[in-house]
Amino acid sequence: MLYAILCYHDEDLVGSWTREQDADVMTKLAVVQDKLKKQGRLGPVARLLPTTAATTLRKDDPPVVLDGPYAETKEQLLGFYVVDCKNLDEALDVARDLGAANPGGAYEIRPVGLFNPGDTQT
């Protein structure tokens, strides 16, 4: 079963990491991802640009375009993973590994209902 692991964290805080801290986190996360990749369990991974770059389209009639992210929250959606896991326990294990590499914030683990891997090249 595919699980989406949605990464929430305070983006002010993440934005205050030094270049070295950021690089350190990315290196540690790469180790966890490599392990999953070797097992053929790693789907798409995305790190999103800051919420200041976000635009929201409210599907009113007519649709309304708003600046910024959909929700004003203390912690923001900063990225996600899609991982193949047998069950929730396994997905939680992956999230724990990722969390050990990148402490702080929270992961929301959501089973994927429909998955289209797409074919974009960039």
Q: Which of 60, 61, 62, 72 is the binder for another protein (CB under 8 A)?
A: 72
Angle at 46 between CA 76 and CA 71, to 5 degrees: 25
**C-alpha to C-alpha distance for 74 and 11, rounded to whole angstroms:** 9
At 116, list the tokens: 């289209």
Q: CB 50 → another protein: shortest distance, Å?
A: 6
# residues contacting another protein (CB under 8 A): 25
Residue 9's nearest CA partner among 115, 93, 101 is: 101
**C-alpha to C-alpha distance for 3 and 107, rounded to whole angstroms:** 12
Nearer Cβ to another protein, position 65 or 114? Answer: 65
Q: What is the DSSP letter of 39?
A: T
Work out whether 103 is an interface residue with another protein (CB under 8 A): yes
Instruction: State which of positions 32-61 bind another protein (CB under 8 A).
Output: 49-53, 55
Q: Which of 60, 74, 89, 120 is the binder for another protein (CB under 8 A)?
A: 74
Q: Give residue 107's identity as a one-letter amino acid code.
A: Y
Chain positions contacting another protein, by CB under 8 A: 10, 12-13, 15-19, 21, 24-25, 49-53, 55, 65-68, 72, 74, 103-104
